Structure 1
Amino acid sequence: MSSGRDVDVADGRVLRVHDSGPPGAPGRGDGVTLVWHHGSPQTGALLEPVLATAAARGLRLVSYGRPGYGGSTPRPGRDVASAAEDVAAVAEALRLGRLVVVGASGGGPHALACAALLADRVVGAVSLAGLAPFRDERWWFDGMADEAALRAAARGRDARLRHAEHDAFDPSSFVDADWEALAGPWADLGADAQRAGAAGPGGLVDDDVAFTRDWGVDLADVRPPVLCVHGDRDRVVPPAHGRRLVDALPRGEVWTRPADGHVSVLAALPAALDRILAVAGR
């Protein structure tokens, strides 16, 4: 059963944490805990397909709302690297040992930051439809159905907040396979995204700004193995991002899924997790 609790961090903030096991219990599955980094926007609540994938492998599952999401204290100006500090606080509070970090969409960069900065804990990482670092290059936006929000973020937080006043989701960002996934196995992801959006744009704004500035972490410093999974039909984070990530990672591998878009690619989670745990020697 998933439970939510607040974890204090050093600067006086709280993080809303969700845990598939009793708080403070040691991780199952040979001591490995799966830390899920949610997409943008999400609350951090545990999603049924992720719970099922973790349970089938004897893994404890922990997720948390990034600052500004799901009850976690906002942190305007945060960078991607700050996720490692937050995950370290969560791991200490829950007495977690070894971690495998998995990020979907906007969670991908944050999972990679943890792999770089918490190498003493992280045994492997998976990025599902995750963004590559922003270098102010045209390729970064190529293939996005709607790039306006990220272009606004690249101009700064104030510009992104102004954009949020009239921003609306472009349905063409999702292909048919994405809508089918949201109507089926990933229905609770769609519902959770709506809850996060209804709570206000702060978390999403801070995510987007963090993506389009220096991440505060060098991917060359990621020592654990990383698997990047991307759908060839992804119109939210186009597949070039996955290829760029692998080019920058010392131990990176990329899987491309020709029929998948941004959401339907999440069906690869079980196989991707099996792969990264095998490579990590778990």
Structure 2
Amino acid sequence: MPAPPPTLVTLPDGRRLAVDDVGDPDGVPVLCLHGTPDSRRARHPDDGVAASAGVRLLAVDRPGCGGSDPHPGRTLGSVADDLAALAGRLGVGPVGVLAWSAGAPYAAALAARHPDLVAAVTLAAPLVPVTAYADPAVAEAAGPGRRLFAEMAAELAPGEVAAEVAPYLLPDPATPEAVAAHLAGEADAAREADLARVPGGAEALVAATVEAVARGREGLHDDVATQAAVPDVDLAACVAPTRVLCGTADEVAPPAFGRWWADLLPDARLEVVEGASHVLALTHWSSLLAGLAAPLR
């Protein structure tokens, strides 16, 4: 069965952000921020989990991704402001923020720029900004592809990095069959085992990734360009209580990435999950939501 269309929320400048408003409509509001290449559909396939946790989950597409209008030249700061405007339009706040993988810097940026809006943050299998690679522990733990990306970002303009890298992140056209084969080729044994524990998890990831480029590949390019840029927000100004979870078997965002975040943020708590892969957001979904909801009740 096709997924229902997203809600389109109009921002002050007329652009629209696509959001899936699911879970308990009277629950604690939690913004869900996806990775790259990904979309608002990058979440547990059963939205009943959010409802059971008493969470109103607001899963948002970044500009140009999924169903959201593009915003050429966007930055961490501009996306953070978009998310704050979306929360205002929906009349929610304070909110919890759940970010997976490449969504992590956006969550920290939102909390840093809008501290009165964000009550708590959870970073699941978080990636780090390119500036973090100055830390030898981060650079040593990163895979060769991540190190190469950081080296390119140090030498090229963000848009040039995106032009080189983005085409390799997804097949073109990004059909479900092609994306499924692409994701299977990237999967390690730990990720495959974790996905097997989540009914419908593998299918949900394929659908989320296909949706990422539903309007074309501009959003993917802009996501990569933003990752290649020096953050325009002081991420250390994220003072909200922050839970950082990473898995020992995560080959994308190893525990050193989580330790970097825990050292940077003033009120962060690191949890290293033995044997967990990069999809720990799916395997620990209920716990993540419950932890965010608790301080907002």
Pairwise TM-score range, normalised by the shorter structure: 0.7 to 0.9
Higher fraction of helix: 2
| Counterpart in the other structure of 1:146 | 145
Give the whole-Å Cα distance in 2 for the aligned partners of 1:18 and 1:178: 26
**Is the CA contact (8 Å cut-off) linking 1:119 and 1:224 kept in structure 2?**
yes
Q: SS of 2:130's equivalent?
A: coil
Q: CA deviation at 1:21?
A: 6.7
Q: Does 1:180 align with 2:193?
A: yes
Q: Determine if contact 1:128/1:266 at 8 Å carries over to the other structure.
A: no
Q: Distance in 1 between matches of 2:92 and 2:296?
A: 19
CA distance in 1, matches of 2:212, 2:42: 13
- 1:110 maps to a residue whose letter is Y
Cα distance in 2 between the residues matched to 1:237 and 1:18: 26
* Cα contact 2:213–2:219 (8 A) shared by 1: no
Q: Deviations over 1:3-22 (max 9, x none)?
A: 51222222332211221279
| Residues 113 and 73 (structure 1), Cα distance of their counterparts in 2 relative to 1, 3 Å cut | same
- Which residue identity lines up with residue 142 of structure 2 in the other structure? G
Q: Which digits, 9 at most, give the CA deviation of each residue in 1:124-161, with x for residues without a partner?
A: 00001112232252654443253355654552212321
Match of 2:18 in 1: 16
Q: Which amino acid aligns with 2:58?
A: V
- Match for residue 81 of structure 2 among 85, 108, 111: 85
SS in structure 2 at match of 1:253: strand
* CA distance, structure 1, for counterparts of residue 296 and residue 29 of structure 2: 15
After superposition, the Cα gap between the structure-2 partners of 1:246 and 1:57, relative to the gap in structure 1 and judged at 3 Å, is: same
Structure having greater relative contact order (Cα 8 Å, sep ≥ 6)? 2
Corresponding residue for residue 26 of structure 2: 28
| Unaligned runs of at least 5 residues, structure 1 | none
Match of 1:43, SS state, is coil
Task: Single out whichever of 60-69 and 135-144 deviates more from structure 2.
Answer: 135-144
Cα distance, 1:150–1:101 mapped onto 2, change above 3 Å:
same
* Aligned partner letter, 1:72: S
Deviations 1:196-219 (A, max 9, x none): 256543222222222232222223
Task: Select which of 112, 116, 129 maps to 1:120.
Answer: 116
Equivalent runs, 1:125-140 vs 2, <5 Å:
125-135=121-131, 136-137=133-134, 139-140=137-138
Task: Tell me the amino acid that sits aligned with residue 190 of structure 2.
Answer: A
1:174-213 alignment runs, 5 A limit = 174-183=187-196, 184-185=198-199, 186-187=201-202, 188-197=204-213, 200-213=216-229
1:20 partner SS: strand
| Matched residue type, 2:259 | R
RMSD: 2.8
> TM-score, with normalisation over the residues of structure 1?
0.85
Q: Does the residue aligned with 2:284 lie in a helix, a strand or coil? A: helix
Q: Percent identity?
A: 32
AA paired with 1:12?
Answer: G
Shift of 1:262: 0.9
Aligned residues: 275
Q: Is the contact between residue 145 and residue 172 of structure 1 (CA under 8 Å) also seen in structure 2?
A: no
Alignment-derived partner of residue 254 in structure 1: 270
2:237 is aligned with 1:221? yes
Distance 1:265 1:46 in 2: 10
1:158 maps to 2:157? no
Change (3 A) 1:234 1:267: same
Which residue identity is paired with 1:189? L
Q: Which residue of 1 aligns with 2:94?
A: 98
Task: Give the counterpart letter for 1:64 in structure 2.
Answer: V
Distance in 2, matches of 1:220 and 1:85, equals 17
Do the aligned partners of residues 172 and 118 (structure 1) sit closer, same or farther apart at CA in structure 2, a change above 3 Å counting? same
Cα–Cα, structure 1 residues 239 and 110, in superposed 2: closer, same or farther, change >3 Å? same
- The one-letter code of the counterpart of 1:16 is A
**Which residue of structure 2 aligns with residue 242 of structure 1?**
258
Question: Residue 78 of structure 1: SS of its match in structure 2?
Answer: coil
Distance 1:166 1:224 in 2: 35
Q: Any unmatched runs of 5+ in structure 2? A: 171-181
For 1:178, the aligned partner's letter is: R
TM-score by length of 2: 0.81
